Chains A and B, each alone.
Chain A
Amino acid sequence: MGRYIIRRLLQAIPLLILVSVVVFILIHLLPGGPERVLFNPRLSAAAREALKVRLGLDKPIWLQYVFWLKGAVTGDFGNSFADGQLVISDIGARVPATIELFGAALLFALIIAVPLGIISAVRQYGLADYSITILGYFGISMPIFFFALIMQEIFSVKLGWLPDFGRSSDADFATGFDYFLDYLLHLILPMIVLSLAFMAGWSRYMRSSMLEVIRQDYMRTARAKGLGPVRVLLRHGIRNALIPLLTIVALDFGGIAGGAAVTETIFAWPGLGRLFLDALSARDYPVLLAMLLMSAVVVVLFNLIADVLYGVLDPRIRFG
């Protein structure tokens, strides 16, 4: 297993290098390059030249790439064009928010999807299965921004139960607990919106996984031993059915960078998605490059985790 991991990591490196090249090219294809930033009419021509040199923009493009990559490997992505801060700290500031939102959404989706999938499978073709399946279809067909707008409108504007955007209110709270409560309230709506698609997809997957498991001979053996239906399901069935689902969850987690962008925008959640969009319109190259590369790393990493997870959870692979 250890060797497998090392091998995969080694394979990932050339892939990521390729990705970095592609990403670099892509970003530099954006119309209105860094010159836009430099296009500050108050700067004299000389100052502009000096700025160019300082930012390394006078070098040939491939050299720029090399310098960038060298920095990237050590985590130095340079400074943001927009606010001059270190890119890495700009990104770092936003990461917690995105992880909170995304993580909460995935957890929520998992908690709901697994029981739904199980019920659906055990009561196949029954009313529960029917309803859950229908909801599942709606969930995967729903455009997320529409759902977000509707939820925002209903729960925030009309009913006023939940705040409509942001991560926290500006108010001063008396206690830390109040801050936390306020934070939770802000989290609920975007979390539910983001979790919908996952919930729907995973419950369908859990259902089919469970159906497969129910058909297996060892379930019959368990009953032949005198186990009651609940124990058979819990001890023998779910364990087997959950394994493939968890690898899917790991894979989906890898989509954290792009996945939250839509939700973050609509709910004005201060996360990475919004950072990206702002950087895009500002042509903030360093930020864009850094985000693209880092999110690719995350995707590749979680692909690897998903594979390894399967090996860890399934004794047939662990003790091959």
Chain B
Amino acid sequence: MESLLEINNLKTHFRTRDGWVHAVDGVSFNIAPGEKLGVVGESGCGKSVTALSIMRLVQRPPGEIVDGSILFGGQDLLDISESSMRKVRGKQIGMIFQDPLNSLNPVMTIGNQITEVLELHLGLRGQAARNRTVELLREVGIPEAEKRLHSYPHQFSGGMRQRVMIAMALACRPQLIIADEPTTALDVTVQAQILELINSISTEYKSAVMLITHDLGVVAGMTDRVVVMYAGNVIEMAPTDELFANPRHPYTLGLLASVPRLDEERQDMLTPIEGSPPDLLHPPQGCRFAPRCLFVTNQCKNPPPLRNVGSNHIAACWYDINNPAEQQRAEARRAARLRQLEQLDATAQTIVASTLDEQTTAN
């Protein structure tokens, strides 16, 4: 089946006073028509920049798409002219942003903001445009749609605003919807509703969805496949269920382990992944996750390629983390680290205790 969207070796860098930041450094993945793809990673891993690169909305200075191709509907989006790109934006690819309050124009009615898209791409005017807008608002679940045409964004709640954004993105029935952290700015109770809405309406319109998030819970119920990104690279990609059941990259493993689960016995501590992502100004040679990895060896100074590790499942790691020997090795490391931390803790306690003693004897 031919892909709807095919990203090949995308590289987007940002020029700063101190040098180039390699925000997206060789990312490749596909989206099939009607497929729902999740893109997961922590802040700064390059997932948003990837989305903006697809839409060619990256700020020209300081950002630059320096390499790669993005094939969509038979053309390379990075090759076409700006005016051709404008026909793609909003019409064939719709985008939903993270913060609906700031992403909607505060001085325009939401009706106008939606009809704007209809006028631009579908040539609808006047009453026809308004009718379609009302229809859209109803579809996304906004009550009293007719009256709401004349409302302003600030008069809505967060969830309603996001629904408006969804309506705006879907107005022209695009083939692909990119949702960049659509629920992050919303209350937890509303998040599920919005996700459900995106799910159902995209299915109905037969649109593919690229759902970007840092929250694993979000992709679990909704996506067909997941791409995991780290420090500007894709490090794992698999069908959703497979990924959760059988993670093959230490980072993914760490991510899953750090999420508290309802079905497990309650632990005393959450287990985060120690450390922080690398500096993208000077990305390390070799595997970018190595400094935080429990499985690391000297082999990791060579950047690991994306290997096939299962059906439709690829991961960028030299090691098979399912291998018991490897697991033992990692476990030993972890135990040693825990011991070290306990030691540090004990030392700290004694220092504090002795300082307090000194103070009380002094007084």
Are chains A and B touching directly in their complex (CB below 8 angstroms)? yes
**Taking beta carbons and an 8 Å cutoff, which residues of A are in contact with B?**
216-218, 220-228, 235-236, 239-240, 243, 313-316, 319
8 closest A-B pairs by beta carbon, nearest first, are A226-B90, A225-B90, A226-B89, A217-B102, A218-B105, A224-B95, A315-B152, A217-B103
CB-CB under 8 A for A240 and B106, given A225-B90, A227-B120: yes
CB-CB under 8 A for A236 and B108, given A220-B57, A223-B89, A226-B89: yes
Instruction: Point out the residue from A225, A313, A316, A319 that lies within 8 Å of B116, measured CB to CB.
Output: A225
Contacts A221-B168, A223-B89 supplied; 8 other A-B pairs, CB < 8 Å? A217-B102, A218-B106, A224-B55, A224-B95, A225-B120, A226-B87, A226-B91, A235-B116
Which B residues are CB-close (under 8 A) to A220? 57, 97, 103
Residue picked from A222, A224, A243, A314, most chain B C-beta under 10 Å: A224
Contact (Cβ within 8 A) B117 A226: yes
Give A293 to B154 CA distance when docked, in angstroms: 42
Give me 21 A-to-B residue pairs in the complex whose CB atoms sit less than 8 angstroms apart, sorted by A's number: A216-B102, A217-B97, A217-B102, A218-B106, A220-B57, A220-B103, A224-B57, A224-B95, A225-B117, A226-B89, A226-B90, A227-B90, A227-B116, A235-B108, A236-B108, A240-B106, A240-B107, A315-B152, A315-B154, A316-B107, A316-B152
B307 at the interface (CB under 8 A from A): no
Contact (Cβ within 8 A) A221 B97: yes
- Bitwise, B74-116 to A at CB < 8 A (1) or not (0) is 0000000001001111110011010100111111100000001
B121 at the interface (CB under 8 A from A): yes
Which A residues are CB-close (under 8 A) to B94? 224
Nearest chain B residue, comparing its CB with the CB of A316:
B154
Contact (Cβ within 8 A) B90 A224: yes
Closest-CB distance, B141 to chain A (whole angstroms): 20
Instruction: Point out the residue from B97, B103, B155 that lies within 8 Å of A319, measured CB to CB.
Output: B155
- Bitwise, B111-131 to A at CB < 8 A (1) or not (0) is 000001100110000000000
Nearest chain A residue, comparing its CB with the CB of B86:
A226
Contact (Cβ within 8 A) B89 A221: no
Which A residues are CB-close (under 8 A) to B168? 221, 225
Which A residues are CB-close (under 8 A) to B95? 221, 224
Instruction: Point out the residue from B106, B108, B121, B165 that lies within 8 Å of A226, measured CB to CB.
Output: B121
Nearest chain B residue, comparing its CB with the CB of A216:
B102
Closest-CB distance, B217 to chain A (whole angstroms): 25
Which B residues are CB-close (under 8 A) to A226? 86-91, 117, 120-121
Which B residues are CB-close (under 8 A) to A218? 102-106
Which B residues are CB-close (under 8 A) to A315? 106-107, 152, 154
Which A residues are CB-close (under 8 A) to B120? 225-227
Which B residues are CB-close (under 8 A) to A239? 105, 107-108
Contact (Cβ within 8 A) B152 A221: no
CB-CB under 8 A for A221 and B104, given A226-B87, A227-B86: yes
Give A31 to B344 CA distance when docked, in angstroms: 84
- Bitwise, B145-163 to A at CB < 8 A (1) or not (0) is 0000000101100000000
Give A316 to B95 CA distance when docked, in angstroms: 25
Which A residues are CB-close (under 8 A) to B155? 319
Give A220 to B104 CA distance when docked, in angstroms: 10
Give A216 to B107 CA distance when docked, in angstroms: 13
Which A residues are CB-close (under 8 A) to B117? 225-226
Nearest chain B residue, comparing its CB with the CB of A218:
B105
Nearest chain B residue, comparing its CB with the CB of A314:
B107
Closest-CB distance, B113 to chain A (whole angstroms): 8
Give A316 to B107 CA distance when docked, in angstroms: 8
Closest-CB distance, A122 to chain B (whole angstroms): 13
Nearest chain A residue, comparing its CB with the CB of B172:
A226
Contact (Cβ within 8 A) B106 A316: yes
Nearest chain A residue, comparing its CB with the CB of B92:
A226
Give A221 to B117 CA distance when docked, in angstroms: 11
CB-CB under 8 A for A224 and B89, given A315-B154, A319-B152: yes
- Bitwise, B45-67 to A at CB < 8 A (1) or not (0) is 00000000001010000000000
Give A218 to B152 CA distance when docked, in angstroms: 13
Give A217 to B99 CA distance when docked, in angstroms: 8
Give A228 to B120 CA distance when docked, in angstroms: 10
Beta-carbon contacts under 8 Å, B24-59 to A: 55, 57
Give A236 to B88 CA distance when docked, in angstroms: 20
Give A224 to B105 CA distance when docked, in angstroms: 13
Give A222 to B108 CA distance when docked, in angstroms: 12
Contact (Cβ within 8 A) A225 B105: no
Closest-CB distance, B302 to chain A (whole angstroms): 39
Which B residues are CB-close (under 8 A) to A313? 107
Give A221 to B103 CA distance when docked, in angstroms: 6
Residue picked from B83, B87, B106, most chain A C-beta under 10 Å: B106
Nearest chain A residue, comparing its CB with the CB of B151:
A319
Which A residues are CB-close (under 8 A) to B165? 221
Nearest chain A residue, comparing its CB with the CB of B95:
A224
Which B residues are CB-close (under 8 A) to A221? 95, 97, 103-105, 165, 168
